[in-house]
Structure 1
Amino acid sequence: MSGTGKGRPPLVADKRQSKKATAAAKPRTTRTRRKKPVQRTRSRNPFVWLFRFLLRLVWGIGWRVTAIATMLVGGAVVFYAATLPPVNTLLDGRARGSVTMLDRTGQVFAWRGEQFGGQITAETVSPFLKNAIIATEDRRFYSHFGLSPRGIASAIRINLSEGRGPLSGHGGSTITQQTAKLLCLGTPFDPTSGMSEAEFETDCRRTTLVRKMKEAVYSMAMELRYSKDDILTIYLNRAYLGAGSRGFEAAAQRYFGRSANELLPSEAAMLAGLLVAPTRYAPTANLQRSRDRANLIIGLMEDQGKLTADEARFARANPATLSEAAEARAGGYFADWVMDQGPAFLTDDTTEDVVIRTTFDQQIQTSAEEALQWVFDNKVREGSEAQAAIVVMSADGAVRAMVGGRKFRGIAGQFNRAIQAKRQTGSAFKPFVYGAALDLGYSPNDTVTDEPLCMDVPGSGQWCPSNYSRDYKGLVTLTEALAQSLNIPAVKVFDRVGREAVVKIASDFGIESDLAVGPALALGTSESTLLEMTGAYAGILNGGSSVAPYGLVELSLKGDSDPLLSQEGGIGERVITEEAARQLTYMMSEVIYRGTGTRARLDGRPAAGKTGTTQAARDAWFIGFTADYVAGVWMGYDDNTPLSGVTGGGLPAEIWHETMTRVHEGLPARSLPMAAPAPSRQVATEQRPRRDGNRGGDNTVERVILNVLNELFGN
């Protein structure tokens, strides 16, 4: 049936295609052949094979060793960090204490030992100081982990380029590494180790590969344990900055007289500049060199933005200046002497901070130094190597000033000619001869014959002294004999009162040196120090009582109000009567007004004293006093070379005059404690007969001997 309408669609046969068409329509699948793998042939070059083997071996061992080393270093860092003590126990690293000396008014004038000014922190210190240190020592301090690979590489490059070893010279150390060195990697100083503190610190700073590795580990441990400001605080307190200053607080007080919290940019830059070489750049050693170094630091701070251009310009225009105590450099010899007066465990070897109040007067010290310099500049030939010393004290023995030699720079430990040089005193010893006579009842107006004299000295033979002037005055008073420094009368008086009396009086007045045997003692053949002689003259001024020169008034620990040691005065037992002392003062005043010491005369101010010149003029002295002060001057060569044309009445008297003129500025003139002489009587007119029964001084041979001996004994 044929269907119409909506029925099924008609059946239609599929369209047949040819094989070619079918083949064309169907995609051809190509059969790919599997390629045989290319077999690589090993290199036949044995060197290449060996290199590859070694490379794999090194890599295999290297990363394992690195991993192990990293774990070991990390463990060591953690271990060290766990053992580090609190910060506040590390701030004062001194093994020794300090000695601070105060003058008679309570002002600091000298330091000894290692001064620690007190703890400061990175938060409270002057920001200028903090920035100066970081700019100078470690500009990346707040960003590194304790080490600066860039700094180490730069330091090695510089060292090699300068012909040194990689670890010699520049170290590239960070502030953390420098702090580790200051802590000696946690090893404290042991006084029983056999090393001094200086040797211990030198050993701590040795640069070796092993030590640098330990330092690196310790530095990273510090970074792990402490904050950056903690590390900087330790550094600020422990760094050595010259002149015995340990820490920036002590240095700020030592050099500028202010706290490290108050430092100006110029001062901060100067202190930061000391870190590279504290002794060389210390402002007390060379202020200009220290300022030049500070200018470099100011430039670094400006470049790094730590100072504005205006601040840097102001700092350069107003460089740091030293405090009065630091600038004066006063009291070096005096301070050394005072250190010897106290017990060693509280002075040189102290482990505590000690404060010593002294008798020192900075104004008088300056006067003495200026007087000495003026005389040498104006009266002594240029280039002379002659030396001089000065001591000024009060009548009770309180030493006010001490100049132990020329060209003293305030450095501790130099040779102090005022207390260490024992020299013959010459005629400066004669007041003790006449003092013994006055104490026995003789009068300044008693007479003695100045004439040629020879004496037989047991064990020495005949001795014939003579006067310095090579002439004889005949009958003279004791006052005239002392004023003109005549030798013959002094020997006769010595012979009359007896050696024992003279020796006892000289010893009781404080001459502790051995006194010669025989009549030559009257002419000052024994040796003494300037301090002893000046102290003995102080006994004459105070009315005849002995004097023990002293400089230490009180010694106490810092912070304590009660002193451990104290001294109220140096006056001791009476040696001669007050009347004898007053008469001797009168006789010594004549030395200045009409005798050998006229160059020492003070305008409008009474004074008394005595000249002294030893054999061949190897030593020249002038010692004298006013109603206020006693001063002694010695002049000579350290090697005993004779002075050329110098006597005690010459340059020493002029130094004394210049010193005392400056010392008494502003003081009212006061009368000396002296007494008018009693009526005269003859002391010694007859010569001691010689063993042959003849009197000395009457033949030509003796005249020759007298001329020779004249060169041996002066005024």
Structure 2
Amino acid sequence: MSTSGRKPKRLVADRRYPKKPVAKPKPKSAPRRKKKVARKQRRGLLGWIAAFFGWIFRLVFKLTVSAAIVAALIIGGAVIYVQSTLPEFETLLDGRARGSVTLLDRDGDVFAMRGDQFGGIVTADSVSPHLKNAVIASEDKRFYRHFGVSPRGIASAIRINMREGRGPLQGHGGSTITQQTSKLLCLGVVYDPAEWEDEKAYIQDCRRTSLSRKAKEAIHSMAMEAKYGKEQILSIYLNRAYMGGGAYGAEAAARRYFSKSAATLNPAESAMIAGLLTAPTRLAPTSNLQRSQDRAATVLRLMNEQGYLSDDETKFYQDNPAILSNEAETQTGGYFADWVMQSGPDFFTQDTTEDVVIRTTLDQRIQAATEAAVRKVFEEKVREGSKAQVGVVVMSADGAVRGMVGGRRTNVSGVFNRATQAVRQTGSAFKPFVYATALELGYSPLDVVIDEPFCMNIPGSGKWCPENYTNRFEGRVTLTEALKHSLNVPAVKVSESVGRDLVLRVARDFGIVRELQDTPALALGASEATLLEMTGAYAGILNGGSSVTPYGLIELRLRGEQDPLMGSGGGIGERVIQQGAAQQLIWMMEQVVSDGTGRRAALPGRPAAGKTGTSQEARDAWFIGFTADYVTGVWMGYDDNTPLQGVTGGGLPADIWQEVMLRVHDGLPERPLPLLEPQKPAPVPQPAPAPKQQQAPKRGGAVAETVLQQLLRDILGGN
């Protein structure tokens, strides 16, 4: 069949569904540029402004997110780096820069502590739970919820500082316990003597506050959180924090204030220790117990608010605050402790890196009696508003110091000590050394000297005429009477007659180590000395004429060791004058107290000897004396050398001396002084009348005398 040349149709199935109609194409929209132009034309000015701020917002948002990401990366990298440099936890628990010094009295009881006291390592789990809760409640209540830094705490601190008119970083810091611990670690910087002038400068640099310092502190704190964890950080803090009274760490503070372990502290004691962390020196209970108790009451309230204590427990412990233990309360002898620390070797006292124990000569009973006596006299006999100061030293005849007060503030430390540091004119308290020299050369206390107007020509100074305090002259007097009434002219005459060089030597040998003036005024105490030196020199007279070196240290050893590293550096030394001369001098000085210028120092029923002293223009007033048991020296004066008004050595210093010695000797049996009363020369027998041609010529009717007496009279101006 023919197809007539056309192609055959394809064989396909019929469409089962009808074909969808083809949609008509939409008309082309206007160009996008023209649409935007039209929209802008419709916006107007407000549209422009809205569009501009929208752009700014999008830009700032993008920059902030980018900056936050970059900052997070930088901080994260810094935290990771710092974390890698942190030492192991155990090495951070005892971070003291120096060791401690514990001072024991003559009976072996603790009376003072110096240096950095450390009672031993504790952990957050080993201390009392009350202490742990008190620290968290008062220092960082969100401690277990932050990552080392508390933004809320910082914001709150800045708001409080600004409201109180301070700078944002001045005052409240908003620091977490972790940040405080980081600061205690000095952000990981170790003390280097080559970089800092001294340790004090290093500590000040560690406590410096600035934005850069705060940033470093935050990074270091976060690194600590990543490295150690909460309990270990709290343990470091409880071991390193200073808690007043020289105590570093919770264990040292618990033993310092309550004589117990930190594991056994009750809520009141825990609150008191936790309260010290804000201002440990000012709030220390040994400085001001009431202030410390008030702060503890606030800590107890915070513990109650945070659920650590019930209402009843809080009220009970607020009504029954913690008090010092008997051992802590009776610690005394601040001046004495400072002196011992200064007199020992620096590498075992001031700069020790070890824990040292020093046994001393201090008698706490005598120390307390001395302090009480000083307070009583100043309260009852010194005019109100007076700035006069005082120094008192009590020692045994071998130079062992038993008590010391270096100022009107009796139980303090770290202040100027007038008993050991004040170098003052001795006045007539120096005269016993003049008469000691004369007695050593064979003079008798009963030898005669003439108290009369007397002048000397001093090369380079001209004419010098000493006068007595009373402006009167007594004529012929014995050496004893001259000392008893503190007459000046006889003292100068005796000094010049025996040889001023010998007087200088005797004074130096007895322990006056200062430069002594080699002038006639030496006999009147124109030279200077400390109270400790003068008291030690008088101890040499009491012990029979041998020099002594005042001392307070008996032995020094390391804590935990039994064998001492060093012993006493003082005691009785070489003989200065013969025992007989010393005993005669004691007899003369006993006359000073019983019937002379020192009568106000007399002790009822107990023999005593001593000497008053008043320097030029009454700038210094002294009384130094002794019984058979103890030697005590008292000095009064003004720190700026202002003359005393109406005060001489026989006045208030004698009153203080008497009050001290009455208390010191309370309960002690009476003992006689080791004195030697001189024998009056026997009258020379008159020969029987001889024939006129055999009688010797008369000597002006004068009574015959001993050769020594005649020699003395000739030298000193007698007829």
Q: TM-score, normalised by structure 1?
A: 0.87
Q: What amino acid is the match of 1:313?
A: K
Q: Distance in 2 between matches of 1:366 and 1:380?
A: 20
In the alignment, what sits opposite 1:549? Answer: 550
532-541 vs 590-599, greater mean Cα deviation? 590-599
1:161-310 to structure 2, matched below 5 A, reads: 161-310=163-312
Q: What amino acid is the match of 1:415?
A: F
1:326-475 to structure 2, matched below 5 A, reads: 326-328=328-330, 330-408=332-410, 410-412=412-414, 414-475=415-476
Q: What amino acid is the match of 2:422?
A: A
Q: Distance in 2 between matches of 1:569 and 1:160?
A: 60
In the alignment, what sits opposite 2:129? Answer: 127
Deviations 1:152-174 (A, max 9, x none): 33223333433444444323222
Q: What amino acid is the match of 1:632?
A: G
Q: CA RMSD in A?
A: 2.6
For the 8 Å contact 1:390–1:402, the answer to whether it is kept is: yes
In the alignment, what sits opposite 1:641? Answer: 642
SS at match of 1:116: coil
Q: What amino acid is the match of 1:153?
A: A
How far did 1:439 drift?
1.1
In the alignment, what sits opposite 2:712? Answer: 684
Deviations 1:405-439 (A, max 9, x none): 11255131x22211222222121111111111111
**Change in 2 beyond 3 A, CA 1:142/1:433:** same
Structure 1 vs Structure 2: percent identity of aligned residues?
Answer: 63
Q: Which runs of 5+ in 2 are unaligned?
A: 1-19, 41-46, 682-705
How far did 1:32 drift?
9.5
**Change in 2 beyond 3 A, CA 1:528/1:166:** closer
**Change in 2 beyond 3 A, CA 1:688/1:572:** closer
448-457 vs 353-362, greater mean Cα deviation? 448-457
For the 8 Å contact 1:625–1:631, the answer to whether it is kept is: yes
SS at match of 1:628: coil
Q: Distance in 1 between matches of 2:492 and 2:610?
A: 20
How far did 1:388 drift?
1.3
SS at match of 1:685: helix
Q: Distance in 1 between matches of 2:155 and 2:620?
A: 63
SS at match of 1:448: strand
Q: Distance in 2 between matches of 1:471 and 1:213?
A: 80
**Change in 2 beyond 3 A, CA 1:381/1:209:** closer
Q: Distance in 2 between matches of 1:453 and 1:687?
A: 13
1:605 aligns with 2:606: yes
Deviations 1:336-355 (A, max 9, x none): 22122122222222232222
**Change in 2 beyond 3 A, CA 1:220/1:36:** farther
Q: Distance in 2 between matches of 1:370 and 1:509?
A: 30
For the 8 Å contact 1:394–1:628, the answer to whether it is kept is: yes
Q: Distance in 1 between matches of 2:170 and 2:454?
A: 76
**Change in 2 beyond 3 A, CA 1:493/1:61:** closer
SS at match of 1:632: strand
* 2:141 counterpart (106, 128, 139): 139
Deviations 1:142-200 (A, max 9, x none): 23332323323322333343344444432322211211121122222222212433333
* Number of residue-to-residue matches in the alignment: 662
For the 8 Å contact 2:451–2:489, the answer to whether it is kept is: yes
For the 8 Å contact 1:455–1:688, the answer to whether it is kept is: no
97-106 vs 123-132, greater mean Cα deviation? 97-106
Q: Distance in 2 between matches of 1:407 and 1:239?
A: 29
For the 8 Å contact 1:391–1:531, the answer to whether it is kept is: yes
1:79-94 to structure 2, matched below 5 A, reads: 79-94=81-96
How far did 1:593 drift?
1.0
105-114 vs 296-305, greater mean Cα deviation? 105-114
Q: What amino acid is the match of 2:519?
A: G
In the alignment, what sits opposite 1:652? Answer: 653
SS at match of 1:140: coil
Q: Distance in 2 between matches of 1:509 and 1:65?
A: 80
Q: Distance in 2 between matches of 1:33 and 1:560?
A: 109
Q: Distance in 1 between matches of 2:322 and 2:351?
A: 33
In the alignment, what sits opposite 2:507? Answer: 506
How far did 1:35 drift?
7.9
Deviations 1:209-262 (A, max 9, x none): 333333233222222221321110000011122333222222233333333223
Q: What amino acid is the match of 2:201?
A: E
For the 8 Å contact 1:101–1:108, the answer to whether it is kept is: yes
Q: Distance in 1 between matches of 2:187 and 2:394?
A: 50
464-473 vs 608-617, greater mean Cα deviation? 464-473
Q: What amino acid is the match of 1:98?
A: S
For the 8 Å contact 2:494–2:716, the answer to whether it is kept is: no
1:496-645 to structure 2, matched below 5 A, reads: 496-567=497-568, 569-645=570-646
Q: Distance in 1 between matches of 2:342 and 2:100?
A: 15
Q: Which runs of 5+ in 1 are unaligned?
A: 1-28, 690-694, 697-715
Q: Distance in 2 between matches of 1:162 and 1:494?
A: 71
For the 8 Å contact 1:450–1:472, the answer to whether it is kept is: yes
Q: What amino acid is the match of 2:621?
A: A
How far did 1:64 drift?
4.5
For the 8 Å contact 1:432–1:506, the answer to whether it is kept is: yes
Q: What amino acid is the match of 2:481?
A: E
How far did 1:374 drift?
1.0
For the 8 Å contact 1:420–1:529, the answer to whether it is kept is: yes
Q: Distance in 2 between matches of 1:491 and 1:344?
A: 43
**Change in 2 beyond 3 A, CA 1:515/1:70:** closer
**Change in 2 beyond 3 A, CA 1:59/1:494:** closer
Q: Distance in 2 between matches of 1:195 and 1:471?
A: 61
Question: RCO greater where, 1 or 2, for CA within 8 Å and sep 6 or more?
Answer: 1
How far did 1:58 drift?
4.4
42-51 vs 423-432, greater mean Cα deviation? 42-51
Q: Distance in 1 between matches of 2:102 and 2:290?
A: 26
**Change in 2 beyond 3 A, CA 1:193/1:483:** same
For the 8 Å contact 1:449–1:684, the answer to whether it is kept is: no
For the 8 Å contact 2:430–2:524, the answer to whether it is kept is: yes
How far did 1:75 drift?
3.8
In the alignment, what sits opposite 1:674? Answer: 675
Q: Distance in 2 between matches of 1:90 and 1:512?
A: 48
In the alignment, what sits opposite 1:494? Answer: 495
535-544 vs 350-359, greater mean Cα deviation? 350-359
1:154 aligns with 2:156: yes
In the alignment, what sits opposite 2:477? Answer: 476
Q: What amino acid is the match of 1:585?
A: I
**Change in 2 beyond 3 A, CA 1:678/1:312:** same
SS at match of 1:517: coil
